[in-house]
């Protein structure tokens, strides 16, 4: 078990909940806190039409509650997932400004050693390269601290903006999974993109140099 895994065990035993932060060149990934609610709800309300059409949700299911109490509960759930090592939810921040979210979810150990990355960004901040940078920070965290072997990003083929993220990073396309996930109540095909730890070793200097290190 790597040092990150040992740290997760200590976190569960001690009950600590300090924010987890990892830095890129312009952005930071930080676990969301209840105090981030005002920024989060402002984006959610302003960008609702931009966001909800791409979000996983079964047919006829109500939209998740977005009041302050529900957001605090969501943060607590994500913190528990972090302590257990089953998932990591981050806000994407530019300075102190929240611009989106990135999740490293469905962390599988045993023979899989895998996880999924998902993300969204404030419509007003789209096209500035914040999400590709956040993905590279998350990949470094996943491969170098969590010791995972495979990371997948699944994208609806008509979601051009999300596809541009994996295109910019030249992440390998593994093909299309038909009717893979219910999105806003519809079973949608997803293009599946992935990177293994072996690929990360080969491409690490390139990706970190382009998106994390330097000016």
For residue 11, what pLDDT is reported? 40
b/e sequence 60-83, b meaning 16+ C-beta within 10 Å: eeeeeeeeeeebeebbeebbebbb
Is residue 12 in a domain?
no
* Residues of the chain scoring pLDDT < 70: 1-17, 214-215
- Measured CA to CA, the distance from residue 192 to residue 172 in angstroms comes to 9
Q: Report the CATH number that the domain containing residue 178 is assigned in CATH.
A: 3.40.630.30
Q: How many independent structural domains does the chain possess?
A: 1
> Rounded to whole angstroms, what are the CA distances from 31 to 48, 77, 184?
22, 11, 25
Is residue 8 in a domain?
no
Q: List the structure tokens of 98.
A: 């929240």
Domain range for 48 is 20-211
Is residue 14 in a domain?
no
Output the furthest CA–CA distance in the chain (Å, rounded). Answer: 48
What are the pLDDT digits (tens) for 99-141?
Answer: 999 999 999 999 999 999 999 999 999 999 999 999 999 999 9
């Amino acid at each position: 078990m790597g040092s990150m895994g040992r740290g997760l065990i200590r976190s569960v035993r001690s009950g600590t909940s300090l924010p987890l932060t990892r830095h890129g060149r312009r952005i930071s990934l930080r676990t969301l806190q209840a105090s981030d609610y005002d920024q989060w709800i402002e984006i959610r309300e302003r960008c609702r039409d931009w966001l909800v059409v791409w979000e996983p949700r079964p047919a006829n299911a109500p939209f998740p509650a977005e009041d302050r109490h529900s957001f605090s509960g969501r943060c607590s759930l994500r913190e528990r997932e972090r302590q257990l090592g089953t998932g990591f939810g981050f806000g994407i921040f530019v300075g102190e400004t929240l611009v989106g979210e990135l999740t490293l979810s469905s962390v599988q150990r045993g023979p899989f050693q895998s996880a999924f990355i998902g993300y969204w960004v404030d419509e007003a901040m789209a096209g500035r390269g914040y999400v590709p940078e956040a993905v590279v920070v998350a990949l470094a965290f996943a491969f170098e601290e969590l010791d995972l072997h495979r990371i997948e990003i699944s994208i609806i083929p008509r979601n051009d903006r999300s596809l541009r993220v994996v295109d910019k990073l030249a992440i390998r396309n593994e093909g299309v999974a038909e009717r893979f996930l219910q999105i806003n109540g519809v079973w949608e095909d997803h293009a599946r993109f992935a990177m293994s730890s072996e690929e990360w070793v080969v491409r690490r200097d390139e990706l970190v140099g382009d998106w994390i290190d330097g000016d």
